[in-house]
Amino acid sequence: MGSYPFISVIIPTFNRLELLKETVESVRNQTYGHFEIIVVNDGSTDGTSEWLGAQGDIKALEQSNSGIASSRNSGASIARGAWLAFLDHDDIWAPNKLEVQAEFVNANPDVALVAAKHVRLGKKCNVPGNARWIKGDLFVKEYSESFIHTSSVMIRRDVFREVNGFPTNYRFADEFDVWLRIAAAHPIAYVDQPLVFIRLYESNTSHNRVGVRTDTYDILMRNYDPERIPARLFLRTLSDHDISFGRAHMKAGNVPEALKWFRTSVERTPWRPRSWRYFLKCLIIRVFKRGFRDTTSSG
């Protein structure tokens, strides 16, 4: 058994002062006290700088607007902790989040990353009496399920440096790339206990939805390891993302582009009812719209 770790909590923020206050308060209320709070202000113009200047327990880092990956990397560069815990500026931690994870890594020094279950803020959830941990080679699970949420993660600082932090060439899915690269080389762990509460927004633009899928698709291709990932699982994972692409285009009103991606899903995994269901549904919508246009134009 080693000593309990000192943890650097890193919160990037941009123009979300009121939510940031709630987020910081959830860190201050932790039952585990061996940590520092680092807030990286990514060019906010809403009074965040002034508020941070009045907080004696926060290490504030100011930078011009550079994006969330750059902000997280900046925070990590000044961190003193042996472990880094990332938290988005609009998410909330359960009071025992750090305590649960610190106790686990103290007893399992070989682990490089720990994550926890996340739930939507305000949603009722069942809290198990005993935390159920899974540990080991979770690369394939993360590759196929993308189950790790950034605000639930705690990473060894030396491992974070080993993978060179978050890549800044992705706009939307840089975290996924980091989790895969760490999981490919080290044991990681996950606790099926809701320790993080996230806010979901319905205002995400269609551009953002498609951007997330584009980045994720590229990361899947770059991190594919045929010796570890069965071919059928690889195809199913890509097929799921084809469907996600299609759904994003459907929400954007681009039915022809959606149909293209649903067709690709069928071509990859013709044995899956899910692929056919989305393809046929979209095909019917397109035929109906064409027929409606033809009827109105002829009338």
Is 179 found in the same domain as 216?
A: no
For residues 166 and 19, state if they share a domain. yes
pLDDT band at 155 (very low <50, low <70, confident <90, very high): very high
Instruction: Name 25's Cβ contacts closer than 8 Å, sequence gap at least 6.
Output: none
| Residue 102 domain flag | yes
If asked whether residues 133 and 175 sit together in one domain, one would say yes
Provide the number of structural domains found in the chain.
2
Same domain? 11 vs 159: yes
Condensed to tens digits (0 to 9), the pLDDT of residues 192-210 reads: 999 999 987 654 445 566 6
124 within some domain:
yes
DSSP characters over 36-93? EEEEEEES--SSHHHHHHT-TTEEEEEE-S--HHHHHHHHHHT---SEEEE--TT-EE
Are 85 and 179 within one domain? yes
| pTM higher than 0.75 | yes
Domain boundary among 142, 167, 198: 198
* Residues 83 and 219 grouped into a single domain: no
**Phi, psi values for residue 182, rounded to 5°:** -70, -45
Task: For residue 267, tell me if it sits in a domain.
Answer: yes
Please check whether residue 51 lies inside any domain of the structure. yes
Give the CATH number, domain containing residue 289.
Answer: 1.25.40
- Residue 174 placed within a domain: yes
Q: Supply the pLDDT for residue 29.
A: 97
pLDDT digits 0-9 by tens, 53-96 = 999 999 999 999 999 999 999 999 999 999 999 999 999 999 99
Q: Among 147, 55, 149, 161, which Cα is nearest to 97's?
A: 149
Q: Please tell me whether residues 251 and 164 are part of one structural domain.
A: no
The residue with tokens 């013709």 is: 270
d(CA 174, CA 219): 9
- The domain containing residue 243 runs over which residues? 206-298
Q: 125-158 b/e with 16+ CB inside 10 Å = b?
A: eeeeeebebeeeebbbbbbbebebbbbbbbbbbe
Residue 286 confidence (pLDDT): 83
291 and 145 within one domain: no
Lowest mean pLDDT segment, chosen from 26-30, 40-44, 272-276, 287-291: 287-291
**Percent above pLDDT 70 for the chain:** 89
Q: What angle do CA 168, 173, 177 make, to 5 degrees?
A: 80
Indicate whether 65 belongs to any domain: yes
Query: How many whole angstroms separate alpha carbon 269 and alpha carbon 239?
Result: 7
Domain boundary among 174, 198, 222: 198
Inside any domain, residue 2: no
The distance of Cα 137 from the centroid of its chain, to the nearest Å, equals 19
Is 84 found in the same domain as 20?
A: yes
Looking at the fold, whether 54 and 157 belong to one and the same domain comes out as: yes
Q: Which of 158, 181, 198 is the last residue of a domain?
A: 198
Q: For residue 33, what is the domain's CATH number?
A: 3.90.550.10
